[in-house]
Amino acid sequence: MIFRKQQAETAPEPVEREENPFVEAANALVEMEREGALPGGFDLAAAVKDRAFAELLREFEPKAAVRIYAAERRAEEAEQNAKAHLGEKMQAQRALPKSQRTDRAVSATPNYMAMSGESFRALEQQYRNAARNGRRVHI
């Protein structure tokens, strides 16, 4: 109790207010937005919510932080686009016919699922005739 009384009796000394670095950064960002100094497509509302942007503001001046953040976002977007493009390219390559080149002639394999019933019966008859004549038949 004694300590509290002594503390209450002394008048509070005027304290110099230290500027909060985030308040200064916020003011600088608002000013940049008003002046149109933000990079094209820069979403300040989304950037402010991102912890990575807050870390950049802590390390760098607001202008530099905005540029670094925008560059990192563009790099991430480019990487995602490259991955998507690579995936599309790989799918397109899989769709191309593969070469079956060998040192000897290769006959085309028939597509039994796409054959009409009539064509399938004719092919089946050819295989039966070949088997009757003693030739080896491979399906």
DSSP string, 67-78: HHHHHHHHHHHH
Residue 83 resides in a domain: yes
Residue 102 resides in a domain: no
pLDDT in tens, 1-32: 455 555 555 555 544 555 676 677 778 888 88
pLDDT band for position 106 (cuts 50, 70, 90): low
Task: Output the pLDDT for position 41.
Answer: 74
Whole-angstrom distance, CA of residue 62 vs CA of residue 29: 7
Residue 47 resides in a domain: yes
The pTM is what?
0.48
Question: Of residues 122 and 29, which shows the higher confidence score?
Answer: 122
Residue 121 resides in a domain: no
Q: CA dist 80 to 49, 61, 74, 84, Å?
A: 22, 28, 10, 6
Domain range for 77 is 18-95
Residue 115 resides in a domain: no
Residue 33 resides in a domain: yes
Whole-angstrom distance, CA of residue 125 vs CA of residue 139: 13
Please give the single-letter amino acid code of residue 127.
Y
Q: How many domains does the chain have?
A: 1
pLDDT in tens, 43-88: 777 887 888 888 888 888 888 888 888 888 888 888 888 888 888 8
